[in-house]
């Protein structure tokens, strides 16, 4: 039963769908998907084309908008929008430390999670589309990992699409995870340098916090073990439009005086645990590197292995000199599963996923080269999360794909500049610009 309700300017409808866990076994076990349908109040009774939104991640449910925030207002001028919680996320059947033991031990959990990649998400979308639109194709908007899914959609089921719009999410079609992170660490270093150029006072603050963590054992109120490597992972903020400013304000309130000497403040620790915890999105940590698995090579904790090739990220070595501490970015490491109480029970499961050698291809270069679906992609120059060179190479490999390369936005451009970004990309798919 669908339930409809209202927010300012919009009508929302909760939608629920049942799909196979394994699309190769459609008569087998099923899981539930949740999606929120959104339509402008003054168009609620109209027959409108559909736009499917695929969130970034992996592991995040779709945005919970209030009214017509970000890009949604522009979309609602002409579309009925479906905000899908991809399998395992949001209000769909969850996959986390509480539910995964229902599958059995780590081996069974790892096998289960292999079905939570872009190919399964696209096949989910195709079943949902037939139910929602009656079989008519729709437009897909893919942000970040959602853009990866959109390229998989173009590879597996282009007949389901009238157009594809991608923001910050054109993946390499063939790069191994090692290649992804070898390209990523230099970008991280550039983003950190830009942050310190903006806030030079943060050089000393970050070094002081790192020194404290190297000489003290710190456990945050939620049980998170705060190591210096975990602190460095706050660099993930630098990929967003407000991230540098958020990091600065966080660092400036790190210490308070106590009878025992300077200590990390309660306010600092409280904000830190919210930024570092994976409790709300454990799939991000579990299957993040699996989104790059496409052949018989294991991902094998690629971000962690490749980091060793960039010794300037070693905090202990940095503190023996007077250089700035480097933060890292969108990387997943084995130590996360020791630090984070939401991930600790899943460490062995994550290790088994990292060791897998039976990944199937997510993209079809031949089909993409013959693509007939209008596609437009925003490529954010020096995007922290997605390599610009990789994206441009993929853009050249997809027939008819039009790009908008810009340094006006960071990775979250579709949120920060939503109406303008979406408007331009839709115009590109229609040859209007």
Side-chain half-sphere exposure of 292, counting CA atoms within 13 A: 25
Rounded to whole angstroms, the Cα distance separating 425 from 433 reads 9
Nearest to 339 by CA among 403, 275, 394: 275
Instruction: Note whether 163 and 212 are within 8 A (CB).
Output: no
Which listed residue (176, 281, 333, 411) is catalytic? 411
Backbone angles phi, psi at 341, to 5 degrees: -60, -25
- CB neighbours of residue 363 within 10 Å: 23
Provide DSSP, 202-232: HHHHHHHHHHHHHHS-EE-TTS-EE-HHHHH
**Segment holding 266, helix H or strand E:** helix 266-276
Instruction: Note whether 398 and 371 are within 8 A (CB).
Output: yes
432 by DSSP, 3-state: which?
coil
Instruction: Note whether 335 and 241 are within 8 A (CB).
Output: no
399: left (phi over 0), alpha (psi -120 to 50) or beta: beta
Which listed residue (144, 233, 244, 277) is catalytic? 144
144 noted as active-site residue: yes
Which listed residue (25, 47, 322, 358) is catalytic? 358
Cα dihedral sign, 364-367-373-374: positive
Angle CA(57)–CA(59)–CA(60) in degrees, nearest 5? 75
358 noted as active-site residue: yes
Provide DSSP, 302-355: HHHHHHTT-GGG-HHHHHTTTPPPPP--S---TTHHHH-TTTGGGHHHHHHHHH
**Segment holding 129, helix H or strand E:** helix 118-133
Rounded to whole angstroms, the Cα distance separating 392 from 231 reads 32
Backbone angles phi, psi at 213, to 5 degrees: -70, -30
Known catalytic residues? 144, 358, 411
């Amino acid at each position: 039963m669908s339930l409809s309700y209202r927010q300012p300017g919009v009508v929302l409808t909760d939608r629920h769908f049942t799909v196979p866990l394994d699309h190769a076994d459609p008569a087998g076990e099923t899981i539930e998907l949740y999606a929120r349908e959104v339509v402008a109040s003054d168009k609620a009774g109209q027959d409108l084309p559909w736009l499917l939104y695929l969130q970034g991640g992996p592991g995040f449910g779709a945005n919970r908008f209030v009214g017509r925030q970000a890009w949604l207002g522009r979309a609602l001028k002409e579309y009925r929008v479906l905000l899908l919680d991809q399998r395992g996320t949001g209000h769909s059947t969850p996959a986390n430390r509480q539910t995964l033991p229902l599958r059995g031990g780590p081996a069974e959990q790892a096998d289960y999670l292999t079905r939570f990649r872009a190919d399964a998400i696209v096949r989910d979308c195709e079943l949902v589309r037939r139910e929602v639109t009656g079989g008519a194709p729709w437009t897909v908007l893919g942000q970040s990992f959602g853009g990866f899914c959109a390229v998989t959609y173009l590879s597996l089921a282009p007949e389901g699409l009238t157009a594809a719009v991608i923001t910050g999410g054109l993946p390499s079609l063939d790069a191994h995870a090692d290649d992804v992170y070898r390209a990523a660490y230099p970008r991280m270093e550039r983003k950190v340098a830009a942050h310190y150029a903006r806030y030079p006072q943060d050089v000393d603050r970050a070094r002081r916090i790192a020194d404290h963590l190297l000489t003290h054992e710190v456990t945050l109120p939620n049980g998170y073990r705060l190591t210096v490597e975990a602190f460095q992972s706050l660099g993930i903020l630098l990929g967003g439009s407000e991230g540098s400013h958020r990091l600065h304000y966080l660092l400036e309130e790190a210490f308070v005086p106590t009878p025992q000497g300077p200590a990390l403040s309660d306010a600092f620790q409280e904000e830190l645990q919210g930024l570092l915890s994976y409790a709300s999105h454990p799939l991000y940590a579990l299957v993040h590197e699996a989104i790059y698995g496409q052949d018989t090579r294991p991902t094998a904790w690629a971000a962690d292995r490749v980091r060793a090739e960039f010794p300037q990220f070693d905090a202990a070595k940095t503190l023996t000199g007077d250089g700035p501490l480097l933060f890292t970015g969108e990387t997943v490491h084995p130590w996360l599963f020791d630090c984070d109480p939401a991930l600790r029970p899943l460490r062995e499961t994550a290790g088994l996923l990292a060791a897998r050698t039976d990944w199937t291809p997510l993209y079809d270069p031949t089909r993409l080269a013959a693509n007939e679906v209008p596609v437009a992609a925003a490529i954010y120059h020096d995007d922290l999360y997605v390599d610009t060179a990789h994206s441009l190479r993929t853009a050249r490999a997809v027939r008819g794909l039009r790009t908008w390369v810009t340094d006006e936005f960071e990775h979250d451009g579709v949120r920060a500049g939503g109406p303008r970004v979406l408007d331009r990309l839709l115009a590109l798919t229609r040859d209007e610009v």
